[in-house]
Structures are given as C-alpha cells and as structure tokens.
Structure 1
Amino acid sequence: MANAARKKRNDTIEVLIAAFANILSWFVSTFFPALLPKLLPSSPEEEQNELETELSDRTKCISIGRPGGLEQLRLVTLREGISTIGYNVRHVGAPPYAPPNCDIPPDCVLLKNEAFSVNYADCCIRWGLYDSAKEFVGWPIVPGFDVAGVVERISSIDDDSTFCVGDRVFGCTLFGAYSNRVIVPKVQLRKIPKSLSFAEATAFPAVSLTALYALHLAGYFPQTSSGGGRAKFQNKAILIHSAAGGVGSFLVQMSKILGLGPIVGVVGSTSKVEEAQSLGCDVVIDKSTQDLWAAAEKASPNGYSTIMDANGVSTLKQSYDHLAPSGRLVVFGFHSNLPMGNAMLSPLEWLGMAKKVVNMPKFDAMDLTVSNKAVLGFNLSFFADEREVLSDMFDQVLQWIENDKLRCPRVVEMNMSDVAGAHTLIQSGKSIGKIILNTNLA
C-alpha cells in the first residue's frame, strides 16, 4: 500500500512538472519566440564542434531534453562512436546513449538505421505524459520504437549466425529509434522480406505487434487447431475504432485472417472510408457523418465479442455497453483524452485534459461479473522482460507478411529533419496509415 501511494504521489508530481514545462513552452513560443533556444537543454554526448557535426560517420538522432512543444525535437549529432539505445539494454549503457565505441554484446547488433516510424505515443513522450519513458529513460530521451536498416556491427564473440554484417533487418527498440545508428537486441529484429523497402518495413513492427497482442487478449490468438479463432463462442463480431490508423489497419487485416466477423471499422472522416474498406472491413462507420452507436447496433444487433478502443474517454463507456455477454473491451490508448491538432499545450488544454481524466468511466467488478464482460489494457513498451511472447508474435507477423496475408499500410515518407512536421501531421488526426522518417533524405 505504501509503495502504491508513493508511486501515485510521484506520478502526480511528474504530471505537474510536465504541465509547467509545456505551459512554459507555449508561453515563450506565443509571446517571446526569440527566446525558444533558451528552452533547449543539451547533453554531454552531443557534438559541440560545428565542423565535426558535418561528418557522415557520426550518429544523428532526435533528442528531447525536457517536456515541451515542437521546439524540443532537436536533430543533433553525437560525439564520435556514440549510438542510441533502448532501456532494455542497460548492460550496454544507460539510455538513451551508449558509451563511445562500446563493445556490442552477443545478444545485440549495431544497426545502421535507414528509417523509423512516427507514432502518436511519440507526441505523448515529448509532452512528458508517457509512463514507461519517464520510468525507464527520463530526460534527455530519444523517442521511437520502429527501426529498419542494415546490420553494421555484431559482437566480436558472437557464437551464432542469426545476423551477419550487411543483413537488412527490421524490428523494435524500446525507445531510441529516432536515430541513424542504434543498438538493438537480436530477439527484437527479423530479416526484411525482399518485397519490402526500408520505409515499408518500419511501418510494421510496433503497430502489428500491438494489434496481434490485442487479439491475443481478446482470445483469438494463438489460433485453434482448426485454423480459426475462438471457435467456441458464437458471436465473433468485432468493432475496431480508428480502423484506418496504424494499429487499426492491422487489427482489421488480422481479424479477417482469424475468421472474425462482421468486422466493423470506425473512421473519423469520409476520406478514410475507402482505406478501411480496402483493408477488409465488412462495415465502415464514418462517425463524422453517421451516428456511431446507432450504426454499430445495426451492424451487429447482438453486440460485439470484442471492441478495440484506443480513444479513451470519448468512447470507452459506450464501447463497454455494446459488448455482448462474454465480450471483451481491449484498451491500448487514450487519444481523445489529449488535444488533437495543437502541438503546443496551452493552460486551457491542460485544464481540459484534467476534466477528461475526472470523467473517465469506472468499471465496477460486480457489474463485470454480472454482465459477463471483461476490460483489458496493455502497453507493449513495458514488455522488456517478455521477450519470448513478443518474439513468437513477431514470427507470426513475419509469416503473414511473407505469405501476402498482411499488406503494408499506406506510407507517408518524410525527411528526418522534418520531425516537427511529422508530429504535427500525426497529432492532427488526419493522417492515414504510417508516417515514416527516412534518415538519408536530404
């Protein structure tokens, strides 16, 4: 009890610090923009010599020095021999930077990263509102999960042949991906299928693994011996919020593979309807022109066995209410709790977020029992110790890619130096598919 109370108190303090830092960024950018450089802390690992920063063999990454707005997304050059790392390779060094010219452990490789993806979680990291980033890395932090590139170095005492120098690989790192050179555990990487470019490959890992684990929690994966999903339950209807987004696009495709139906996808604008249909939705609800829940009831009058919800306060209660008996609500995000369309968080927006937290639905244990429903939540960025679980799922994703059962979502490719534009686009809520930053684009 004491530990729980202490953690809650520390979390509250961290949120207040994040709020103050973001409001300071908003105030300075609004009234004194010339002073923004004063809000940009640096770290000892950054190269200070301007001539050295132009060298092509130096690691370049996006560093965030403290919570704040877009000004915190700094493209920096690191000192000679330094690369970025995730938090689960502390046997290499303390994240986000590895020691200069360090030895590569046998369980890792040094990746010359060609592309990385931008996820909404990265905006939350920048604001100081992402729990695992605060708990396991702190400040400064190099955000990002998805990587795709070429193996540059392996351990001098490597005793297996999993990867060789020059192999094209893709996968996940637990932060540190916004970089052109990163050390990654082998278990979190796979060889890129020949049909995929680096940009396409980096569009897969985090969102596809999130989608598959969500379906695992819903009871549909691993598949049954008959090749289907959870065959013993009659109702296999699934409703997927944000069906044209990163995770949603894979939830739709995987639901089709696992034999679920009807697959009902929810999108936020008419421009996304066609994309959701092409992914395999049986019914697409455009909530900008339709009554969401009236259309959902029409699509599956007996309710849903599964509802996938990353929206948060705007839909969670109604999602729960529309579950069928034995249904499961799987929660993996809270997008509507956060402001959309604004990179800077003003004082009014912080007050709005506080109000939404107060209004979050509460799920009573007795009601869960009587209604025969379940609410499950997860965040894969906390899965550092669950390597085998995610490794098995990565193998399944790779198999589906190679068998042409999963297609790459629409990719918007941008320059690494335009990271602020990428954050603005994903935060607008208007992006479709995946935003990819190329480390080599001029």
Structure 2
Amino acid sequence: MAGKRTILGQDPAILLALIANVLSWLVRTLTPSLLPRLLPKCAQEEDDPERSGGRLRTQCVSIGRPGGVEQLRIVALKPGIVTCGYNVEGQNIPFSVPLVQDEDIPKDCVVLCNDSFSVNYADCCIRWGLYESAKQYVGYPIVPGFDVAGTVEKIGRNVTEFQPGDKVFGCSLFGAYSSKVLVPEIQLRKVVNGMSFSEAASLPAVSLTALYALHLAGHFPNSSGLRNKAILIHSAAGGVGSMLVQMSKLLGLSPVVGVVGQSSKVDEAKRLGCDYVIDKGSQNLWSEAEKVSPAGYSTIMDSNGVSTLSQSYAHLAMTGRLIVFGFHTNLPMGKDALSPLEWLRMARKMRVMPTFDPMEMGASNRSVLAFNLSFFADEDAMVSELFDQVWKWLDEGALKCPRVVVMAMTQVDEAHDLIQSGASIGKIVLKTS
C-alpha cells in the first residue's frame, strides 16, 4: 500500500485545517466584521428561498470550511435536495441529487422528515477539520451529525419495514443536522412507544458506541466465563458513559465504577446505576479506583485520550482490556476557535501520547482496542444487530434515555459552545421545527 502523502511530514488536511482555524481566530480577534467573508456557499444552496412560492425547502446546517462556530450556517437547499450520509451511493455527498419523482429515491432508502438530531463532541471536531472519517469521505462543505428522529415521508421501492407516516429513529453517516435526510432503511428503527423524538434522537450513536465497546471488551453477547467483571467508565455522566453504565449493569458487570469530572455530575452517575462514583475534581482518581477494585479492572472505557490512557492501562487486571473511543483531552475544551496557541498545545499533547509495548502486553495479558463507528459503512449488518439489541432493551424498559437538553436548530452555535465547555450532562438535542 502506498504511503499517505505528506507536506513537511504532516497530513495536508491537518495543515489546511490549521490555516483555516487560525485565519478564523485572527479575523474574529482583529476584524470580526469580516467574519461573513469566511463563509463559503455551496452549489446546492438556494439563493432566494422565497422564490419557491412558499414550497418548503430542506433546512440544514452547512459547514463550508474548518473554523469556529461562525461556520455553522443554516441554509435552505434547492428544490428536491435533502442531506444524506456518505454511504448512500449516487449522491452529491453531503447532499442528494434532486429527488423529484418517487423513483428518484434510492431503492433501499427512506426520505425522513427529521424532527430532532443530537449534538456530539465529534461534531465540533468535524467543524475544526479534525475528524478523520469526515475528511476522508465527505470533505467540505459538510453537514454534520449522526442521530436522526422523525417521520418517514417517502420510501424506496425495496423498503419493506417502513411506510410513509411511520415514526423512526436511527443513524446517518453525517448529514443529520437537517430537516430532511435520505437514510438507508437498515439504519433506522421504529420509535419505541411513549418515547419523544427528542429522546429517540439522543440514543443511536451513543448506544451503538457503548454496546460495540462492550462487545470489544468481551462482555457482549456473553462474558459469563470471566472471573473479574469490574469495569471503570470515564465520563460516566456523558452520552456514551450513560449508556455504558446501564448496559454494564444489564450484562452483569460488577462493580460498575463511574468517573466524573465535576461534583454536579455525581448524582447523575449514581442515578444511572454506578456502584461507585469517583469525582476526580475532588478525589484522587487512581487511588480511589484501587480501593474499589484492588485486583484491577477487566475493562476500562476511556474516551479521554492523553490525560488518562497510561494509568487506565496500568489499572487493568490480567486479561483486562482498555477500550478507546475518543481523545477529548487532546483537544481544547471551552474553545470554539482554535488559536495558534491551541495548536501548539495539541501538538505537545500528541508528542506525549502513550505507546504500548506488544511484548509487555503479551506478558501481562492486557490489551488495548480502539474504534470509531463513523468508519463502519461496510459493517452495516453488524451494526444493525447491535441496533436490534438496543431497541429490544428500550422496548422492555431496561434501557433509559440519557438526560436530554432540548434546543432549537437556530441555537446550534450555543449547543456547540455547551458541549465544548465540558459542563453538559447527558445529551444535547436540537429540533428542526
């Protein structure tokens, strides 16, 4: 396989993101009145939304280039155009070709009138130009977002599970920040009775991430042979963390130890079912973790990155697995525009990222596994099986929605500010109406 092209030893996409973000920061700092000039339009955007004579256009959040929250533009698309994920073939990703007739709809897809979508920290990384799958498969412009919930408007000719009018929720591989989304049937499920669209939109990405993480850890579908079932979950009051705590209890893991960063999140972690909660803001994380499980942990779930990875690995028990699905502390918290100083800080953190010796791992019988579900376009059958289990738990009432903060799509910049602050609990969901 040919090596990836670099410039000065760096990924060209990262260098472009650096330049674009620093430019945004400079303009915002020195001449904020010029920020609108940094907002490129896309070919699918309607120049005059009123020209349609009142016909409803798809409204979506488009990001034209890497940068701060100023890049989050709500735009109206031209007639017949909706948003879609990168795994829908024959489309002008992140937009569809004009879907004028029913036969224009891909045979295995539905057109969803999207009521609600969730905001994930990954969306901020997409906006900064730092999310690998977004760079590889979409580029710019991009409509971010994974989670959708709404009403089926139209269906492709091979769709059998849904009819127009059905209330559904699920995932799109980007394109979810939109009032209408083209989604493959296999990526959707009917909304569980009694669940609101906002609650449903809070679930898919975090629940599928959590269940696949537990699968990698050897706990799903069955881990009855493991003697040590202690699990430590970083960010236990967050979106993925809230699912991991509940699923760990459902799968019989014990003790379930949740780690939170602020005292305000302790009660939420306890409500979700943690046997022990460590507030690392006021307690020594690792000494407390050792008290709870002196023999170490069969599993540690870590989305923090550089701040905890080394110690997470060190606190695994024999046969233990460190599951990595994010690197939040490698990135700036509370910053929507990345200044030159922030880029230097990120570079320093990358230099001190831990490495793991395969020979030592073999001798200690400990493993490190990492994943990102946004690359799983070709694993749709496997992800569908995970989704079936999530739906079953929801239908039985065994799995609860995380705490949901509901905002309007017009507040998308505020939502990004909130999730970047690190102070959010549960999930942030935006409504399109």
Counterpart CA distance in 2 for 1:437 and 1:364 is 43
Instruction: Report how far residue 11 of structure 1 moved.
Output: 6.1
Q: Which runs of 4+ in 1 moved over 2 A?
A: 4-11, 50-56
Match of 2:305 in 1: 312
Kept in 1, the 8 Å contact 2:49–2:76? The answer is no
Which residue matches 1:98? Answer: 96
> What secondary structure sits across from 1:88 in the alignment?
coil
Decide whether aligned partners of structure 1 residues 265 and 8 sit closer, same or farther in structure 2, where only a CA change above 3 A counts: farther
Partner of 2:162, secondary structure, is: coil
Q: CA RMSD in A?
A: 1.4
Check whether the contact 1:53–1:77 (CA below 8 A) recurs between aligned residues.
Answer: no
Partner of 2:318: 325
Does residue 57 of the first structure (1) align with residue 56 of the second (2)?
yes
- What SS is found at the alignment partner of 2:220? coil
In 1, Cα distance between equivalents of 2:10 and 2:245 = 35
Q: CA separation in 1, counterparts of 2:9 and 2:137?
A: 14
- Partner of residue 177, structure 1: 176
Partner of 1:125: 126
- Aligned residue for 1:383, secondary structure, equals helix
| Counterpart residue number, 2:154 | 153
Structure 1 pair 53/314, CA: closer, same or farther in 2 (3 Å)?
farther
Query: How many percent identity over aligned positions?
Result: 62
Q: For residue 191 of structure 1, what is the aligned residue in structure 2? A: 190
Partners of 1:192 and 1:201 within 8 A in 2: yes
- 2:266 matched to 1:267? no
Quick one: which amino acid aligns to residue 317 of structure 1?
S
The one-letter code matched in structure 1 to 2:122 is: A
Q: Distance in 2 between matches of 1:203 and 1:176?
A: 16
Letter in 1 for 2:98: P
Q: Is the 8 A contact 2:303 2:327 kept in 1?
A: yes
Cα–Cα, structure 1 residues 54 and 115, in superposed 2: closer, same or farther, change >3 Å? Answer: farther
Gaps of 5+ in 1: 224-229
Match of 2:398 in 1: 405
Which residue of structure 2 lines up, in the alignment, with residue 226 of structure 1? none
Contact 2:40 2:64 in 1 (8 A): yes
What secondary structure, in the 3-state scheme, does the structure 1 residue paired with 2:378 have?
Answer: coil
Amino acid of the structure 1 residue aligned with 2:432: T
The question of whether the paired residues in 1 share the 8 Å contact of 2:6 and 2:12 is answered with no
| Alpha-carbon separation, structure 1, partners of 2:256 and 2:396 | 22
Q: 1:9 to 1:83 in 2, by over 3 A?
A: farther
Using the size of structure 1 for normalisation, the TM-score is 0.95
Match of residue 17 from structure 1 = 16
Which digits, 9 at most, give the CA deviation of each residue in 1:120-158, with x for residues without a partner? Answer: 000000000000000000000000000000000112x33
User: What are the equivalent positions in structure 2 for 1:63-78 lying under 5 Å apart?
Assistant: 63-78=62-77
Whether the 8 Å contact between 1:304 and 1:324 is mirrored in structure 2 is yes
Letter in 2 for 1:31: L
Paired amino acid for 1:123 = C
Which residue does 2:296 correspond to in 1?
303
Work out the CA distance in 2 between the residues paired with 1:4 and 1:306: 34
For 2:357, the equivalent position in structure 1 comes to: 364
1:94, distance to aligned residue in structure 2 (A): 2.4
Decide which moves more: 42-51 or 268-277.
42-51
Choose which of 218, 237, 242 in structure 2 pairs with 1:249: 242
| Residue of structure 1 in register with 2:165 after alignment | 166
| CA spacing shift, 1:374–1:55, aligned 2, 3 Å | farther
User: What SS does the corresponding residue of 2:356 show, helix, strand or coil?
Assistant: coil
SS in 2 for 1:314: coil
Output the CA distance in 2 between the equivalents of 1:54 and 1:286.
56
Alpha-carbon distance in 2 for matches of 1:19, 1:290: 36
CA distance in 1, matches of 2:218, 2:193: 32
Cα offset for 1:298?
A: 0.5
Size of the aligned set, in residue pairs, is 430
How far off is 1:57 after superposition? 1.3
Other-structure match for 2:340: 347
SS of the counterpart of 1:200? helix
Q: Distance in 1 between matches of 2:307 and 2:273?
A: 25
CA distance in 2, matches of 1:154, 1:138: 28
Q: What stretches of structure 2 of length at least 5 have no aligned partner? A: none
Q: Which amino acid counterpart does residue 237 of structure 2 have in structure 1?
A: A
What's the CA shift string for 1:332-386, capped at 9, x where partnerless? Answer: 0000000001111111010000000011000111111111100000000000000
C-alpha change, 1:222 and 1:56, in structure 2 (3 Å) is farther
Report deviation, 1:231. Answer: 1.6
SS of 1:111's partner is strand
Q: Residues 64-100 of structure 1, C-alpha deviation per residue, up to 9 Å, x if partnerless?
A: 0000000000000001111001000023x12111111
Return the letter of the residue paired with 2:263: T
Deviations 1:289-311 (A, max 9, x none): 00000100011100000000000
**Is 1:237 paired with 2:238?**
no
Structure 2 residue aligned with 1:82 = 81
CA distance in 2, matches of 1:34, 1:4: 42
Offset of residue 326 of structure 1: 0.4
For residues 379 and 9 of structure 1, the distance between their equivalents in structure 2, rounded to whole angstroms, comes to 27
SS of residue matched to 1:22: helix
Counterpart CA distance in 2 for 1:220 and 1:178 is: 33
Q: Which residue type is aligned with residue 152 of structure 2? A: V
> What residue in structure 2 maps to residue 218 of structure 1?
217
- Residues of 1 paired with 2:89 and 2:119: CA distance? 24
Residue in structure 1 matched with residue 411 of structure 2 by the alignment: 418
Inter-CA distance 402–8: structure 2 relative to 1 (3 Å threshold): farther
Residue type at the aligned position of 1:354: A
Tell me the TM-score normalised to structure 2 length. 0.97
Contact 1:240 1:307 in 2 (8 A): yes
